[in-house]
Structure 1
Amino acid sequence: MKRTISVIATAVAAMFSIGVGNAAVAAEQAEVAPRSVHISEFSTQGVGPDATFKEFIELSNRAAYTVNIGGARLLANFSNVEFEIAQIPTGTRLAPGQTYLLASQRLASSVQPDQIFSTTRDIPNSVGISLQTVMGRQLDVVGTTYRTTFRSGTPAVPLTQQDAVQRKSLHRVLFTGINRVDFQKLPATPGRPG
Structure 2
Amino acid sequence: MPPGSTPSASSEETAWAVPESLRPDLARRYAPVHSGAEADREMHLLTDFSTCGDVVTANALRIGKVPFIGVIDHVTRRDRPVEPGLLAPLAIRGRRVVRNPAGMLTQRLRDAVREMVGTGGGLLEVEGEEDLASLALVESLPSGATVIYGIPGEGASFVRVNAASKENVRKLIDRMELRKVRLGD
More helix by share: 2
TM-score grouping bracket, smaller chain normalisation: under 0.3
Highest CA radius of gyration, 1 or 2? 1
